[in-house]
Amino acid sequence: MPGLIKKKIFLKAGAVFLCALFILFLQAACRPRSGRENGKKFKNTQKELFRLLEKTSENTELRFSVINQIAANYRNENKENELILFLTDYVKKYPNDKYNAYWLLLTAHIYQKKGADPIAELYFERIIKNYDDLSIQDKSIHILCLQNLVQISTSPENRIDYFNQLITHFPDKINKTELYMRLALEYEKMGEWNQALQSYSLFLAQEDASKIQIPNIPDAYARARKLVDFNNSPKDWTFESLAALESKVKEAISAQNFSALDRYRSKVNFFAMSWKQDAGDPNSQVTFSMRDFGYGLRIRYATHLDAASNPNEAYLRTSGWRSWIRVWYLYFRKVNFPLNPEIHGRWEWAGIYYGEKL
């Protein structure tokens, strides 16, 4: 009896080996030719592969290889519609095949290639919701689906769901730092400011937050730092209106009340820089006292705000400061902070520009 068992195992292994050799033979036979000969070879090759497919068992690597070769042949001949029909019919006919998630992934990619992103999105979501994850060539099918969904979905609500799934289920296989930032931006689009701030805080908590370069978000760290710090601050330097802020600043300058000027300045991300300098430059952040540059001097200010001022930003020209550049433009801006309706829309003195306007 043991000899009979060994013989059966040997015969089975031999059959698999012969089938594999047959696939290699068909691959060689299906190499690109020209005209009618090529079309005939393609049809014959596919016919033989379909015959082989009927003889193989479900959930085997051999069947996977056969189907993969059938799909490759369709792709090589640019027969995308036939390939979609083959893959979707196969999944319908064999619902328990463990590789069905992969066949549907190929289907989704074909629709992407055809420019039919909404249909591709349906297939990616179908895989996520209805099929267990599968690893092909060390790549997770679910991760690939979620990454594609993030790219093609136009719904912030859906993108939030996809980002959260990536972070929750695959924390060691994705860049959490980047995803926390992108998640925060999606929450902003939805007007979900509490969740946005929570995501910004999680972003800042990552070790590489201050160094990471995120495509299309050049100021990621500065943006997060500004919003989180502003949220955690008392915000007691803001004014109800631009007129009120302008009036108080001019009054303090006239009275040389430099302690008042220091109180009126924003306590979060206040800058002092030249017009050409980048606001994100660490050297633009200042902690000096206005007294150091104005005490004992006659500081003058323009009667009216600069003509470049608009409903959200304003500039007040001043001169006479104790500095290598004596002209300073005080920069006022409207506070954009929808999380707190009492603060949103108020005005703050946010910075100083050195020198005449460019």
**Residue 202 main-chain phi, psi, to 5 deg:** -65, -35
**214 and 281 both lie in a single domain:** no
User: Over 80: is that where the pLDDT of 6 sits?
Assistant: no
- Whose CA is closest to 289, among 262, 269, 270, 268? 262
* CATH code assigned at 252: 3.10.450
**Residue 218 lies in domain:** 169-232
**272 and 347 both lie in a single domain:** yes
Q: How do residues 81-116 score in pLDDT, each as one tens digit?
A: 999 999 999 999 999 999 999 999 999 999 999 999
Q: 207, 232, 257: which is the final residue of a domain? A: 232
**180 and 199 both lie in a single domain:** yes
User: Over 90: is that where the pLDDT of 262 sits?
Assistant: yes
- Whose CA is closest to 143, among 179, 95, 119, 107? 179
Q: How do residues 18-33 score in pLDDT, each as one tens digit?
A: 344 334 434 444 455 4
Number of domains in the chain: 2
- DSSP letters along 246-295, please? HHHHHHHHHTT-HHHHHHHB-SSS-EEEETTS-TT-GGGB----THHHHT
> What's the DSSP call for residue 239?
B
Q: Is residue 288 part of a domain?
A: yes
What is the separation, in whole angstroms, between the first and last Cα of the chain? 96
Q: How do residues 179-192 score in pLDDT, each as one tens digit?
A: 999 999 999 999 99
- At 236 the pLDDT is 95
Residue 175: helix, strand or coil by DSSP?
A: coil
Residues belonging to the chain: 358
Q: Is residue 57 part of a domain?
A: no
